[in-house]
């Protein structure tokens, strides 16, 4: 029987509705409007789409968004100056510099210039370090969106075999740590893994973030697996697909995320979550980050 769909659109809408209430309370009780600065450098079409989605989500929730669009020729020094001024801006609770940046700008330097208190992407080494040792701090949005999907779908992770395919700083590494923090037995596979199918067939929960369309096929999963597909690949004909052969794998899975409409909308919801948490801290309220 085909596995149940994990509806990221629906779950992200619930989260955004909860956040909109919190934004209303912050406004009413503390006279504080959460503020997010989004910085876009250059003309990357996918980045433009993502930035537009982030602005739209802010508007829906009553979060103040401030967009900075810089030309592709912007120097690293100019970008760092902008980040420093946003660090000091009392109306800004979160700073997001859309990645990737063009080659003449050192991404790590930009990320390290954002103060950790406004690092709503969770990419600063301080945030990453806190995640590693289990301290509160901003968690990166895509993996925390995956954890929220699993939680709200009622997937119990304790003692389960979780397999992550991919080892990027944005998804593979952080989701591995988050699954471990929930007491799963975690295996990280990647492009050099010798027998990928042998590893993925162990999974009770399989998270795939490789950027290769249809890489995981039905013969590579066991019956009843929960599958989270982080891939977003546009095929030559224009169709958007994940890293998992959805139709084949769904037949064996107990639950699976679609692409689009799975992980994607969750990333933005969790960015909104981090921004609201940061604003709550400004208001002196207890926060979970
Ligand atoms: N590019 C792709 N994903 C992300 C993300 O989560 N944050 C930022 N800043 N850039 C990205």
Residues 179-205 have pLDDT tens digits of: 999 999 999 999 999 999 999 999 999
Ligand 1 atom 4: residue of nearest CA: 99
**Which residues are part of the catalytic machinery?**
54, 98, 121
Terminal-to-terminal C-alpha distance of the chain: 40
Ligand 1 atom 8: residue of nearest CA: 98
pLDDT of residue 288: 85
Ligand 1 pocket mutation, candidates 50, 54, 270, criterion most atoms within 8 A of CB: 50
CA 143 to the chain's CA centroid: 5
The DSSP H or E segment spanning 97 is strand 94-97
Ligand 1 atom 2: residue of nearest CA: 99
Given the CA of residue 47, which atom of ligand 1 is nearest to it?
1
Ordered domains of the chain (ranges, CATH): 30-115 (3.40.50.10860), 141-264 (3.40.50.720)
Is the whole model's pTM more than 0.75, yes or no? yes
Distance CA 118, CA 201 (A): 40
| Residues 208 and 227: beta-carbon distance below 8 Å | yes
**Is residue 277 within 6 Å of ligand 1 at its C-beta?**
no
- pLDDT tens string, the chain, 289 residues long: the values are 899 999 999 999 999 999 999 999 999 999 999 999 999 999 999 999 999 999 999 999 999 999 999 999 999 999 999 999 999 999 999 999 999 999 999 999 999 999 999 999 999 999 999 999 999 999 999 999 999 999 999 999 999 999 999 999 999 999 999 999 999 999 999 999 999 999 999 999 999 999 999 999 999 999 999 999 999 999 999 999 999 999 999 999 999 999 999 999 999 999 999 999 999 999 999 898 9
Structure tokens at 190: 């990647």
**Is residue 121 within 6 Å of ligand 1 at its C-beta?**
yes
The DSSP H or E segment spanning 132 is helix 125-133
Residue 72 alpha carbon to ligand 1 centre in Å: 17
Inter-helix orientation angle 264-282/8-30, to 10° = 20
Residue 99 alpha carbon to ligand 1 centre in Å: 5
Rounded (10°) CA dihedral 271, 274, 276, 280: -170
């Amino acid at each position: 029987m085909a596995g149940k769909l994990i509806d990221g659109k629906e779950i992200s809408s619930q989260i955004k509705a909860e956040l909109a209430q919190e934004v209303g309370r912050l406004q009413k009780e503390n006279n504080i409007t959460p503020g997010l600065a989004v910085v876009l450098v250059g003309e990357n079409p996918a980045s433009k789409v993502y930035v537009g989605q982030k602005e739209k989500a802010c508007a829906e929730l009553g979060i103040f968004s401030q967009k900075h669009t810089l030309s592709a020729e912007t120097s690293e020094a100019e970008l760092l100056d902008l980040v420093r001024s946003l660090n000091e801006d009392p109306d800004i609770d979160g700073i997001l510099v859309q990645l990737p940046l063009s080659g003449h700008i050192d991404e790590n330097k930009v990320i390290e210039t954002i103060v950790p208190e406004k690092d709503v992407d969770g990419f600063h080494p301080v945030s990453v370090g806190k995640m590693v040792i289990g301290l509160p701090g901003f968690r990166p949005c895509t993996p925390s969106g995956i954890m929220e999907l699993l939680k709200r779908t009622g997937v119990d992770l304790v003692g389960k075999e979780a397999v992550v395919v991919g080892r990027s700083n944005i998804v593979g590494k952080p989701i591995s740590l988050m699954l471990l923090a929930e007491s799963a037995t975690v295996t990280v596979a990647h492009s050099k893994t010798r027998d990928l199918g042998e590893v993925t067939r162990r999974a009770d929960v399989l998270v795939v973030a490789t950027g290769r369309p249809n890489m995981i096929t039905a013969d590579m999963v066991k019956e009843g697996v929960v599958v989270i597909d982080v891939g977003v690949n546009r095929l030559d004909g224009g169709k958007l697909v994940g890293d998992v052969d959805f139709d084949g794998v769904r037949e064996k899975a107990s639950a699976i995320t679609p692409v689009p409409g799975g992980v994607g909308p969750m990333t933005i919801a969790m960015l909104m979550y981090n921004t609201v948490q940061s604003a709550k801290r400004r208001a002196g309220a207890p926060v979970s980050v």
